[in-house]
Structure 1
Amino acid sequence: VRADPWSRGSYRLGFGAAASRLRHVPRRTASCCSRSRSSCRTLLATALAQAGRPAEAAPLLTGVAAGHHPAYRLYLPDDLLALAWGAAAEGATTEAIARAAEAADLARDAGSPAYEVLAWQTAVQLGGATAAATRRLTSLAGLGPRAETALTHAKAWSDEDGDALLEVAHAWARLGDLVAAGDAAAQAADVQRRAGRQGSALTAAATAEKLAERSGACTPALVVAARPLPLTAREREIAALAARGLSNKDIAARLTLSVRTVEGHLYRAGHKLGVSERAALSGLLGVE
């Protein structure tokens, strides 16, 4: 996929750059131009969020994608993807997927196919937007190996094909995108487990764990693979937000739900997990 230098910078994050490798970025921004400072901040925030460190990513995401000169619009998809990963790291996967889809639509309108591919890939890694992603990636597949692999990933996740997802994981690894590879393997484990194929699930989960060790990532898909629980995606999302200290009202506002709906999901999650206190959710969900 052809991309401008800043888009290629985003791709390098997908290649598994650990957050620790970007710690020097803030110290260098004083001598950079405004765009470079913004890009360094965006890249670092994305890496920290992908590493499962939302508290460190959050300050860097303040004001991202807002108040910029119109000429900056070309780079807004990158910022929206940083916000997507930030939301995902906080447990708000619905918001994260919406951000990624927004980035894809913006990239399409701006005529930036490389950004659009990356945005739809991100949406699929986060577990959503498969119909829209498949439709758009089908038209973009001719751009190169990344677009083709992203399309295969979207189809495999939509079809809940665990074997195909594991193959996609290997394809991403061959391309050097270890974060996407880990997510595909983790999704394969989730699909196989839900289908009752425990042996295949364990194999996929072990692959995901090895890829996570190489990339330093701790994404939502990897957390699900590492801590399988008898919860629906929505129950897990709401339980994770509750474990992070959000009130039912805050969760409802963030996910655009009624407070009663949030209460119902939390009750069912607690019943399935055998807990009645919000504090107990943190350990079960791996929320720090």
Structure 2
Amino acid sequence: MSGAKAWVYATRDAGLRLHWQKALGHPKAFAAASFQELHALALPKGAQIWLDLALPDLPKWQDPTWQALWGNAGHRVIAASSNPKDDEAMAALDAGCAGYCHAFSDPGTLRQIQQVIQTGHVWIGSALMQRLIRGANLAAPLVSAPSSTWSSLLTHRETEVAVMAAKGASNLDIAGACRISERTVKAHLSAAFEKLGVSDRLQLALKVHGIQ
């Protein structure tokens, strides 16, 4: 997906809508103050929808009306909460949302989320990412014979960095252990992501542990 053809700011909070507009632009974005209004919009396929989870008429994630948004229409929905919770994030992502974030994230983070979603990937945030990586680490011992072929695609240093990242180490932790800069760590991780065909640390962890 190269980019959205339309944007929607779905919130009844004027301050939040202004925050999104200042951070993300799109002055001609559609506006919806309720799920009913959002559902009634005539959007081109592949719209990017910023959805305030505080809307009063949101149906349950299991409700089939959601399929109109991310089914054949192919819209990309970013669920935004002013009080984010991991369980809520998991429910939103499981239902089909392309991202979950704090509604009032700083402008830089919002733009980063927008870019990730536009490239077809999913945004889950660092806290939930760490939770899922911990889950992958717990599941790793259950894999009878993890494949090590992935490491043959990487240099020795890239493999070292990948293993530490897969175990949940931060860039700062990796930099200290390897006696390199955080910038170098990011470069090694970017190279590893590209060579292994993964897009984030969770996919890397699954690859390293032989789960994926």
Q: Looking at secondary structure, tell me which structure has more strand per residue.
A: 2
TM-score normalised to structure 2 length: 0.33
Q: Say which structure is richer in helix.
A: 1
